[in-house]
Amino acid sequence: MTLDGAPALSQAAEEGGSAGDRSVPVKPPPPPPSKRSGLGLLKGLPRRVLSVLSNLPLAITEMFAVAALMALGTIIDQGEAPDYYFQKYPEDNPVFGFFTWRWVLTLGFDRMFSSPVFLGTLALLGASLIACTYTTQIPVVKVAKRWSFLHSEAIRRQEYSDTLPRASLQDLGIILVGAGYEVFLKGPSLYAFKGLAGRFAPIGVHLALLLVMAGGTLSATGSFKGSVTVPQGLNFVIGDVLGPSGFLSTPSESFNTEVHVNRFYMDYYDSGEVSQFYSDLSLFDLNGKEVMRETISVNHPLRYGGITIYQTDWSLSALQVMKDDEGPYNLAMAPLKINGDKKLYGTFLPVGDANSPDVKGISMLARDLQSIVLYDQEGKFAGVRRPNSKLPIDIDGFKIVVIDAIGSTGLDIKTDPGVPIVYAGFGALMLTTCISFLSHSQIWALQDGTTLVIGGKTNRAKGEFPEEMNRLLDQVPEIVESSSSTQSDSFSG
């Protein structure tokens, strides 16, 4: 099909341009010398910029820089007040001899992941990705699709080559088909390949990365977020609690929805630890009609009109108590100690004159909605009551009944237009990364009389390829002259 010149050309271009064996990036043709000055320089600029950006060592340096900046971002405490950095990196005693707070604040390292330095490096990496995909990898598509039959010298020069003295091309072709290769026969020549997707997949990886970056940029500039703590029984309007994140954020119609917390409750393990938080929410539109009612929990958010409501936090809002059958009094609870999910809230029921300076009263502490611990006026432990039991307790002569513990739910609300794009990028990235594990194997063969000359190469699985080839060639039947029938002895190479 093709002449002697063609194999060398396609192979050389393959070596130069393939994603797997790039030794030198494909150089764009230099601008013609007659148009050197002025306009000519400008015309050649995009090409030169492209060739600079698609340089591999530059890309590796950029990746390394991004990694180093991120590492720095985890070491330096983020988001603190400037005073913190004055203390931690003082000028009169600099870390490593030179690193003071000036470095941190001028370069924006206190908000590293939104600082211009970091975002600029990321943008540069993105530009390199685009340039590299355009100049180096898309040509691979054209080149890798081109293939040709080889003559016997070229076949013998392959990485793996072998000769079978008494074998037929057709038998080899059948065996290769059985092993998953796509086989092409023309006259005495054979070409087979497998795993071509593995050569294209790196392009997919780069494109998926670009998609993720685009979606991430949209998320950073176009989303709304906010959080709110709502006691059970109260409402809030979604638009009131959301704040924009960037210049592309535009509010939508569903921002007018009102959310009503019907109930907030928790499930417990037998040991008393919290197993899950639940909020029963109702959504009402502008006309007061209920458009949605759902119970959310951690890991199961509510989605409505592009807005997502997450259950992220909780607190105790108030205790409802009766004192001597008077009340019910709603006592607001204050947080005493918060340690992640372990919280302690307390409240105080004054006894006697509430305005006197050393007022005494009954203290109540609670760790969750399950049980309230009560202390008398001297601060001594008095007892434990569960809110729903309605059992009275006698403290210092007063009959106290704990009617209810009212919790507040902590909700995070978000709208993010970039999420579908980012998810698509994630899916593509996972898929293409898996596919690029495949190795592109190519095999050529030539029937020279009764001898079969075979050669092959592969781009990734270089260690296993010879064994695989040996196993395949072992299966090629040997053609024996006597009785003119093909015996299916296994060939002893």
Partner 1 sequence: MIFSTLEHILTHISFSIVSIVITTHLITFLVDEIIKLYDSSEKGIIMTFFCITGLLVTRWIYSGHFPLSNLYESLIFLSWSFSLIHIVPYFKKNQNFLSTIIGPSAIFTQGFATSGLLTEIHESTILVPALQSEWLIMHVSMMILGYAALLCGSLLSVALLVIAVRKNRKFFFTSNHLLNLNGSFFFGEIEYMNERSNVLQNTSFFSPKNYYRSQFIQQLDYWSYRVISLGFIFLTIGILSGAVWANEAWGSYWSWDPKETWAFITWIVFSIYLHTRTNIKWKGTNSAIVASIGFLIIWICYFGVNLLGIGLHSYGSFTLTSN
- Tell me: does residue 276 bind partner 1 (CB under 8 A): yes
- Tell me: does residue 256 bind partner 1 (CB under 8 A): no
DSSP type of residue 353: -
The interface with partner 1 within residues 315-334 (CB under 8 A) comprises: none
How far is residue 231 from each of residues 280, 407, 410, measured CA to CA in Å? Answer: 12, 6, 9
How far apart (Å, rounded) are the C-alpha atoms in residues 157 and 8? 12
- Tell me: does residue 64 bind partner 1 (CB under 8 A): yes
For residue 492, count other CB atoms closer than 10 A to its CB.
6
DSSP type of residue 134: I
How far is residue 3 from each of residues 7, 91, 97, 185, 455, measured CA to CA in Å? Answer: 8, 73, 67, 16, 18
- Tell me: does residue 22 bind partner 1 (CB under 8 A): yes
Strands 235-237 and 441-448: unpaired
Q: Contact, 456 vs 156, CB < 8 A?
A: no
- Tell me: does residue 484 bind partner 1 (CB under 8 A): no
- Applying CB under 8 A, which of residues 286, 437, 480, 487 lies at the interface with partner 1? 437
- Applying CB under 8 A, which of residues 8, 45, 359, 434 lies at the interface with partner 1? 434
Segment contacting partner 1 by CB under 8 A, of 3-11, 87-95, 283-291, 462-470: 462-470
- Tell me: does residue 274 bind partner 1 (CB under 8 A): yes
Give the position of tokens 């050197």.
36
- Applying CB under 8 A, which of residues 412, 424, 475, 491 lies at the interface with partner 1? 412
- Tell me: does residue 461 bind partner 1 (CB under 8 A): yes
| Cis preceding linkage at 328, omega within 30 | yes
Segment contacting partner 1 by CB under 8 A, of 97-105, 306-314, 324-332, 348-356: 306-314
Segment contacting partner 1 by CB under 8 A, of 32-40, 68-76, 91-99, 232-240: 68-76
Amino acid (one-letter) located at 248:
L
With respect to partner 1, which residue has the nearer C-beta, 97 or 340?
Answer: 340
How many residues form the binding site for partner 1 (CB under 8 A)?
Answer: 60
Give per-residue burial for 252-265: e unless 16+ CB within 10 Å, then b: eebbebbbbbeebe
- Applying CB under 8 A, which of residues 66, 196, 234, 291 lies at the interface with partner 1? 66
CB of 371 vs partner 1, minimal distance in Å: 19
Report the C-alpha dihedral over residues 281, 286, 291, 292, rounded to 10 degrees.
-20
Sequence-ordered strand ranges (E) for 122-254:
160-164, 182-186, 189-194, 224-231, 235-237, 243-244
- Tell me: does residue 280 bind partner 1 (CB under 8 A): no
How far is residue 369 from each of residues 234, 262, 335, 387, measured CA to CA in Å? Answer: 18, 16, 14, 8
- Tell me: does residue 271 bind partner 1 (CB under 8 A): yes
- Tell me: does residue 263 bind partner 1 (CB under 8 A): no
CB of 382 vs partner 1, minimal distance in Å: 30
CB of 235 vs partner 1, minimal distance in Å: 21
- Tell me: does residue 294 bind partner 1 (CB under 8 A): no
CA dihedral sign, ordered 30, 32, 33, 39 = negative
Give CA 444 to chain center in angstroms.
42
- Tell me: does residue 250 bind partner 1 (CB under 8 A): no
First to last CA, the chain: 30
How far is residue 340 from each of residues 225, 319, 372, measured CA to CA in Å? Answer: 22, 22, 20
With respect to partner 1, which residue has the nearer C-beta, 88 or 360?
Answer: 88
- Tell me: does residue 308 bind partner 1 (CB under 8 A): yes
* Contact pattern from residue 355 through residue 394 relative to partner 1, giving x for each residue in contact according to CB under 8 A and a dash for the rest: ----------------------------------------
For binding to partner 1 (CB under 8 A), which residues are involved?
19-23, 56, 59-60, 63-64, 66-67, 70-71, 73-74, 78, 113, 159-162, 216, 225, 269, 271, 273-277, 297-301, 308, 310, 312, 340-341, 412, 414, 419, 422-423, 426, 429-430, 433-434, 437, 460-466, 470
